[in-house]
Structure 1
Amino acid sequence: MSAVNDTKFTPAVFLLTGIPGQEDVHLWISIPLCLMYVISIVGNSVILFVIKTDPSLHEPMYIFLSMLAITDLGISISTLPTILGIYLFNSREISFEACFAQLFFIHLLQLIESSMLLLMAFDRFVAICNPLRHASILTLQRIDNMGLVFVLRSVAVIFPLPFLLKRFRYCRDNVLSHSYCLHQEVMKAACSDITVNNIYGLFVTLLTVGLDSLLIFLSYVMILKTALSIASNAECLRALNTCVSHLCAVVMFYSAEIGLAVIHRFGKGSSPLLKTVLGYISLLVPPLINPIVYSVKSRHLRAGIIRAFIK
């Protein structure tokens, strides 16, 4: 064994990074970031409040939307302290324990978001392909059980990550390339063999995000096939229009998520700026855009918001 491997050097902290080369304008960058966080937190909170207080919205589509809003709130809250800490106060240091806790919640909530998007696709599939049985298939009890199963799945596969990282020796540069902690970044700072983490991370990605995206794709193939078989063009468009909001959420989430995963695994020579931008898109944009898109596209939700705040 080499002398490097015999020497254990574990730095007390990791150093987070903002946008490379833009350190002089961090304070200005913090303004749109703060605005994004305010809109995300307020928007998702309003959706939760309206769905909870309006009995007419206690339907599967809106219950799944409320689950998505809770997940988006969690993602915003888990990234807010470190991102704004860097841009407002130039606070780059994060302890090992805080870093492991943050990456656990970030990855957990991202997997839960993927699960919620899958459940919402299943809701649209049943509503369009088997509308007469929609209410009997998606009962409140069944919705709760499906949500619980997917949350437990996410917890089960993410729970080992902090422990897998904690066993490593960290004797390399402890500067991370994001403003928050990710498993892919932290394990690269280790001087130990990270083969197990690499294999396990790939397994988790394929089992969760990969499987969910495949099932969503198959759901929309069936939805499109059913919609095109409808005789009336107006009814076909009306059916497909109910899927627009969900499709926007799916495209935003999976495009950034898959792009970032590919760059982390295979893009060794990729631009640090591209990695940073994709990281912000994957974590900040879905919680920001989802409540806006659903509020604009869903007539019933929009009416509920109006009833709740304009009496």
Structure 2
Amino acid sequence: PSIALDVVAVAASTSYGLSGRMTQLSGERDQNVRIETDDGDFVLKIAGPLEDPSVVDFQVAVLKHLEATAPELPVPRIVDGIDGNAIGAIVDQSGSTCQMRLVTYLPGITFDAERNVPAEPLRAIGRVQGKMCRALSGFDHAGADHFMPWDISNGLIGSDQLWRHAQADVIGVVGSHQEHLADVASSKFSDLRRQVIHNDAHRGNLLRADKSSHELTGVIDFGDMVKAPLIDDLAVSGSSFARASDDPIAAVEALATGFNSVFPLRDEEVGVLYDFILVRLVLGLLLFDFMIAKGSDYTTHVLRERPEAMDGLAKWLTVDSDLLTHRLHTSLRQVEHDR
């Protein structure tokens, strides 16, 4: 949606008793509006009129569950409306009703522009991911099994429709891997641990205080959550930090070591991580090219992100998958020994 800020201001006042400076934030699916008030800053998230209500309820339920079971995690908090409900309604420019919910605003800047993040901050990021997955390991919801394009286990990697829109550079780099990717999609996802995961811990959704710091201060954007193989969550962060590192194996190793220290990984999960990162990188580019071809509202962002995504894929294809798996097994066994 693209609702005028004066309309959003009325909804914020009526539903949440908030008034203050309104600023439009970026978002792939939701309209996100920051509200700066004397009592703190908030983000009003407005879903599209066609969004499944159970998916919005799922996102709210996850954040409330994390607040109750893992309050130390640096994630947004749900703010209930004046009527006591977490989900409200607002009418968009076409007259359609959209669901909205309010969350606390987390300050900081992202890791987007940062290259070669050191090992210890990466281990800390992995630990936060592990703690979040551990907290969600017993959680379920009717909306958790919804279709999510960015879920690497959804089978889209084998979609002829997506591949038809792939640009020539993607075909040139991974065209020969299509059969392998289809095999990964059809055979490697089914026997792994599945649970609700954040599914979006890339550099743009992880916050730090400022450019001089590598300390993680926040995790944002819970719009891609889904029930999927647990290891997918690490494949998302791994693909993001590996493509921004001169030593992608070391970056993934640090993330996995941190994750494993609080939520132990299984051998079969470690064994598929290289392929799952590859799938994430390729799927990302396929979705980018699909959005470009269809003239998505998100095209400007996609065009800005695409060159680095392409470079990251080419870099990952130079990684020795056996060496990565060996390094991971060795490091994780050492963590177990030290524990």
Shorter-normalised TM-score: what interval? Answer: under 0.3
TM-score normalised by the chain length of structure 1: 0.25
TM-score normalised by the chain length of structure 2: 0.24
Q: Which has the larger radius of gyration?
A: 1
The structure carrying a bigger helix percent of its residues is 1
Higher RCO structure, 1 or 2 (CA under 8 Å, sep 6+)? 1
The structure carrying a bigger strand percent of its residues is 2
